[in-house]
Every structure is written in C-alpha cells, then in structure tokens.
Amino acid sequence: MAQEEAGSLPEVLARVGAAHGIPDLAQKLHFYDQWAPDYDQDVATLQYRAPRLAVDCLTQAFPGPPHSALILDVACGTGLVAAELQAQGFFQLHGVDGSPEMLKQARARGLYQCLRLCTLGQEPLPSPEGTFDAVLIVGALSDGQVPCSVIPELLRVTKP
C-alpha cells in the first residue's frame, strides 16, 4: 500500500471492508500499520466526514472555552480528528492508538502534546481518573475494532 497505490473507490472500499474483517488483534494492528501511509488519502476518497461531525458536536456541547480544554482522542489514527479539533480552537490534545505507524503519521501533524501507544480492550488508558475534559473516539467503537466494553475506561479518564 504505497502512496501511489491509494486510490479508486472500489479499492478503498475493499480495504475498509478488509480492516473490519480481521478477527485477530495482532493481524488487525499490522493491517493498520501497513495502511497508515495511505489512510488519509483513502478516507478522503470516501469523503469521510465523521471527524468533522464529531468535533462539531463537541464544540456545541462543550461548556467552556475550547483553548482551555484537555481532550483525549482515542484510536486517533493519523490525527484527522486533531486537525478538526484545532480548527475549532481546541489545542490541548492527547492521543492514543494501537498502531505504531498510525501514531507516527499523527506525530507528523504536530498537533498533539502527547501521543501514546495503547490497545484498548487489552490494557487501560495510560491516564489517571478524571484527567480529560472530553474524550472522543471517532469511527472506531464497533465490533471488530475497539470493543464497546471500553466505555467504562473512557469514562474513568474523563472529568465528571
């Protein structure tokens, strides 16, 4: 999956389908590592709007000024959500993901103050209770991705 190979809608749809069809966690993380260089281009092909929609929702619901909020982007991937957060004035961003190569892409954006490797469902988030003003998980909370059983862990690190 080199940069020049990312492309047609049928290829991208097949790649997304493949990502959801891998039951073995190690194989799934390897798949995401291999996909990382092409991920942004592929989701652009799909006109993927979830990051913007999620951040719009947070912006409407968040009671305080965005620049003072500490936000955790769970399953942050390449940092698409961080780009949307920053565009809305959220600048204190932490991210976690299970794929080292996705984190490498996210790090290259330069939008996060902290990025950590964490495989949710296998280990707890690397943060104390009540650390974050808001926690976002966009496009990853589903069967075959991040299990819904992690919701208590997301709540644990979020301020009441």
Torsion of CA 114, 120, 124, 128, to 10 degrees: 40
Q: pTM for the whole thing?
A: 0.92
For the stretch 74-111, what's the b/e string if a residue is b when 16 or more beta carbons lie within 10 angstroms of its beta carbon?
bbbbbbbbbbbbbeeebbbbbbbbbbebbbebbeebeb
- Residue 67 and residue 34 in one domain: no
Same domain, residue pair 85 and 65: yes
**Lookup: tokens for 60:** 């409407």
| Residues 30-77 pLDDT 10s | 999 999 999 999 999 999 999 999 999 999 999 899 999 999 999 999
Number of domains in the chain: 2
Tokens 């500490």 correspond to what residue? 70
How far is the C-alpha of 106 from the C-alpha of 79, rounded, in Å?
A: 5
pLDDT for res 144: 77
- If asked whether residues 71 and 130 sit together in one domain, one would say yes
Are 36 and 69 in a shared domain?
no
Q: Are residues 38 and 57 in the same domain?
A: no
Residues 71 and 137 in one domain: yes
What percentage of the chain reaches a pLDDT higher than 90?
80
Q: Show which of 45, 64, 79 is a domain's final residue.
A: 45
Give the pLDDT band (50/70/90) at residue 7. Answer: confident
What band does 4 get if pLDDT is binned at 50, 70 and 90? very low
Q: Are residues 95 and 30 in the same domain?
A: no
Q: Do residues 29 and 67 share a domain?
A: no
Range of the domain at 17: 3-45
Structure confidence at residue 1 as a pLDDT band (50, 70, 90):
very low
